[in-house]
Chain A
Amino acid sequence: IAGITQAPTSQILAAGRRMTLRCTQDMRHNAMYWYRQDLGLGLRLIHYSNTAGTTGKGEVPDGYSVSRANTDDFPLTLASAVPSQTSVYFCASSPGLAGTDEQYFGPGTRLTVT
């Protein structure tokens, strides 16, 4: 693994199903983030984690949950998917805690909820 990876690359999901998007980084970065990107809108922060064991809510957290059991992994779970959660999801990480470092992004997961 080099950098930050996400799985799956894309997924079609029936409404009401549960889904976990995976994110792993091997850079030993402290902070990790989940964003969604929709056409015509900027990236929107869903949840973040400043360090292992802690998580926080971003701008659009409803319908999503995260955990940070260790430094490397930061999975995002949709408990019961709805069509409005159709989006491209990016995981990102940064070395520091203050947010002033650049963020490194994974390749994204394209999710379609039908």
Chain B
Amino acid sequence: GQNIDQPTEMTATEGAIVQINCTYQTSGFNGLFWYQQHAGEAPTFLSYNVLDGLEEKGRFSSFLSRSKGYSYLLLKELQMKDSASYLCAVLDSNYQLIWGAGTKLIIKP
């Protein structure tokens, strides 16, 4: 079967750095997405990785290792507004997104 694993919840301090991990086992791989979802709102796109390595976009970076079935999202200089759920999703061999359950990130002052 297809499986995406992420921690259920993480807590971090304002101004700090946090890494949210995602491991996957899917039938095929055509890229990995990260989305942010604030409580009661729709998901919004953060990043897309299809090749191994780190992609940086402002305070957010995303890393992919296809051989390990592993990705992480790195958030730097955390702000209170970063409190949200972070969703990992893999595009499988049928080009359909398989979603993880999400990681709820709680930022404390």
Contact = CB atoms under 8 A, between A and B. Distances in A.
Contact of B43 (A43, A45, A58, A99): A43
A103 B45 contact: yes
Interface string A95-106: 000111011111
A61 interface: no
Interface stretch (B13-21, B67-75, B76-84, B94-102): B94-102
B99 A90 contact: no
> Number of contact residues on B: which range applies?
20 to 34
A81 B99 CA distance: 25
B101 A40 contact: yes
Nearest to A33: B97
Of B43, B89, B97, chain A has the most CB atoms within 10 Å of the CB of B97
Given A45-B96, A104-B45, 13 more contacts: A42-B100, A43-B89, A43-B99, A45-B97, A59-B96, A100-B50, A100-B91, A103-B43, A103-B45, A105-B42, A106-B42, A107-B41, A108-B42
B29 to A, nearest CB: 12
B64 interface: no
> Number of contact residues on A: which range applies?
20 to 34
A99 B95 contact: yes
Where chain A touches its partner, the secondary structure class is: loop
B31 A100 contact: yes
Contacts of A58: 96
27 contacts: A41-B101, A42-B87, A42-B89, A42-B101, A42-B102, A43-B87, A43-B97, A43-B99, A45-B97, A48-B96, A98-B30, A99-B30, A99-B91, A99-B96, A100-B31, A100-B48, A100-B91, A100-B95, A102-B33, A102-B45, A103-B45, A105-B42, A105-B43, A107-B41, A107-B42, A108-B41, A108-B42
Interface string B35-57: 00000011111001010000000
Of A41, A44, A100, chain B has the most CB atoms within 10 Å of the CB of A100
